[in-house]
Structure 1
């Protein structure tokens, strides 16, 4: 089973001010998405291969970085229009594929007629033009191409009961998932078809063709009011598109969302994260699973701050983090403080969480819960406190996303990760949080062997986990979330769409 897409140069390429050639606006991300869509691509140029335009197209394709662990990069070829017009046998164009598309912004009716005789779906992109050829699908924007194709693919592979997953995340996160083959347009082994949600297009027209919404809602936070109570989403300003999507989901609760917004908001607040972790039950065995000791503070100038730190079972050095966990510029501005007087000029945003600094041999375990499957990877982490003291820098301030003071190598031997303990924690957290895809960070305390969970997050990229099993588990988790949601809706007899949205469709 296969899908083939022919793209005319007019869709992707235009002339620049110097008389040369450049990609059209949006063509670079489209090419990137199609490259990892698990379909066969053929680019058609109007001129012969020796022309500058044809050379530009070939050069652009050659510059695309490819990492293809799941084999989702389909074959890519470049042909002239004359070459394809000379084809006499359908098999020379179809190559045993199941569904064929031709996308163009120049309507060459003889060529279109020929392709239609070979069962190609023809899509014209641009202002609608007069055409005597029937059966052409007209779309206005390049952004509409993938979701238009997806609808035909879903219908063509209906025997697989495919689901269309509309995803929403920032470009760098999307690229990371794309390069690992996690967001294919061709149905993956769990029969999922992935399409990007675009806020440049009418939202309703997209959502009526989508079964599951996969999102990183925090990528769409514009601001958080630090003066308001920590009762998210109160105080959060989202982008206009995200606000519209949230309103749609509130009106149409039958939609499967991975994961529900209300289940994610607690992870925006480090105090709530700490309190959630406190609920983990201790597990009998050779090691314990626990939360770090902590203290919430609204100011660093309390005369009794040292006493409160001691009462919270904290000893120096301590780690200081903003209470807001993400969505604002300084959410990852942190510090390691070695003595009480260093709090006076500390620049960490308030309110803040003062957290236990755990000596852990400079290794941190990144744990990923993808549905019922649990994976982990080891990453270098903060040095032990003795090494930090030896540096002579006090306090140490850093951004945990940019300049985390990571040790060059492991500093001492610590116990191996207790997977039974970690999997039990993942199960407990899955039930407690109501999340499908999430991650948490575990460090193993020296001497005691305590497994300390120091952070929680949702929809992690899990890029440290090598091999194909994590991607397959990612797909299975999404499919399972949909089936669980639909089963629950059958029990409650929940309608598919509210009347107000039906009237607007």
Structure 2
């Protein structure tokens, strides 16, 4: 009897589709029994079944309704991921609240988030008492993180004069010196990969006094002209020598976030607080990031798809042997492959194309790929 081919339908914006659905991924997945099928957004989703799984990164009430209708007709379909779970990452406050809810203890390392506040109107923006707990410089980010061009417009604000150019609602997040290095942690089910990338350089008290009021992140490429950031800075910084966070520490945070958010595909940005060598701050979480930039992403995603389909078969087989309310519903379970003794299936995951709320970083170079760690 021929081995069964599982069909995974993908619904992605054209830009995301071009970067993620590479021939190398499609070929490897098919060789492992996974057929990646493009969902036609010009046709009703419910007419394009059956599918074993739907992989998506689309938003809106109409799409959510279509997923619900498909689930009614094909109750065993796995949806990666739940629109409600993804929605939490569209607000930069609720996005990081989950970090504060994690209960993870390590002997030497600690973690948290930077100080931040929400500014809903201009009056609050210029009311210094409303946010006197924050120190300059601060990073100004749109409150909404939905992947739109507007949500990417961020700025580094050095003093009160820079506030004049900001348009609420925004989040003001305290900029923490971190040695010009950011750690990007990719999560694919139980798989966790941490890589180090270049970030904004530290801001000294002296530079803070002479800096211009506001610097848009779109201007980062021009920073060398102002002698704030250039190749000399990074050569002195010795990126290659930067110590990675402990494997177990990053893994525990990744798995904790996965459980708390009910998401399987995401990345998060971590910086090491320069004031404390063992203090780490999570500054951003992204749903369904640019995995094609991750080394060997084809094998990682294919393994994940195979695990999901294997678990689905187990649940379907179990349901065939049961009747009535004892049947397991996929929509009520989360895929926790990382805890093999607790393996359970579901329809959930995470959010964001690229680096929507993090500090600007450089593309992953060959050297940086070699410096990445897998945990």
TM above 0.5: yes
1:287 to 95, 102, 109: 109
Aligned twin of 2:150: 330
> What is the distance in 2 between the residues matched to 1:454 and 1:295?
13
2:307 is equivalent to residue 480 of structure 1: yes
Q: Which residue of 2 aligns with 1:14?
A: none
Q: Give 2:69's aligned residue.
A: 248
Deviations 1:11-56 (A, max 9, x none): xxxxxxxxxxxxxxxxxxxxxxxxxxxxxxxxxxxxxxxxxxxxxx
Q: Distance in 1 between matches of 2:191 and 2:249?
A: 14
Unmatched segments (≥5 aa) in structure 1: 1-157, 219-236, 497-505
- Which of 160, 177, 181 is equivalent to 2:24? 181
Asked if 1 retains the 8 angstrom alpha-carbon contact of 2:177 and 2:274, the reply is yes
Bigger share in helix = 2
Deviation of 1:250 (Å): 5.4
**Pair 1:351 & 2:169 matched:** yes
Which of 186, 211, 216 is equivalent to 1:397? Answer: 216
For residue 194 of structure 1, report the CA deviation from its aligned partner. 0.5
For residue 320 of structure 1, report the CA deviation from its aligned partner.
1.2
1:463 aligns with 2:292: yes
- Of 193, 212, 222 in structure 1, the residue corresponding to residue 35 of structure 2 is 193
Distance in 2, matches of 1:243 and 1:431, equals: 22
3-state SS, counterpart of residue 453 of structure 1: strand
Residue matched to 1:382? 200
Looking at structure 2, the residues matched to 188 and 460 of structure 1 have their Cα atoms a distance apart, in angstroms, of 24
Which of the pair has more CA radius of gyration? 1
Compute the displacement of 1:331 (Å): 0.9
CA distance in 2, matches of 1:249, 1:293: 42
Give me the whole-angstrom Cα distance separating, in 2, the residues matched to 1:346 and 1:377.
Answer: 34
Residues 436 and 477 of structure 1 are in contact (CA less than 8 Å); yes or no, is this contact kept in structure 2? no
State yes or no: 1:361 paired with 2:179. Answer: yes
SS of the equivalent of 1:198 reads coil
Among 38, 46, 64, the residue aligned to 1:204? 46
Task: Specify the alignment match of 2:257 in structure 1.
Answer: 429
Q: Once the 2 structures are TM-superposed, how far is the Cα of residue 374 of structure 1 from its aligned partner?
A: 0.5
Q: Please say if residues 106 and 249 of structure 2, whose CA atoms lie closer than 8 Å, have aligned partners that are also in contact.
A: no
What whole-Å deviation, never above 9, does each CA across 1:188-240 have from its counterpart, x for those lacking one? 33x211111112345333222x211001124xxxxxxxxxxxxxxxxxx45x6
Contact 1:439–1:459 (CA under 8 A) maintained in structure 2: yes
Structure 2: runs of 5+ lacking an equivalent:
331-375
Matched with 1:452 is 281
| Structure with higher RCO (Cα < 8 A, 6+ apart) | 2
The answer as to whether partners of 2:29 and 2:302 remain within 8 angstroms in 1 is: no
Q: Normalising by the residue count of structure 2, what TM-score does the alignment of the two structures yield?
A: 0.72
The CA deviation string for residues 86-107 of structure 1, in whole angstroms up to 9 with x for no partner, is: xxxxxxxxxxxxxxxxxxxxxx
Q: Distance in 1 between matches of 2:313 and 2:259?
A: 19
**Alignment RMSD:** 3.1
Residue matched to 2:370: none
Alignment partner of 1:183: what SS? helix
Query: TM-score of the superposition, structure 1-length normalised?
Result: 0.55
Deviations 1:225-279 (A, max 9, x none): xxxxxxxxxxxx45x6x35533424535532011121211101111101211222
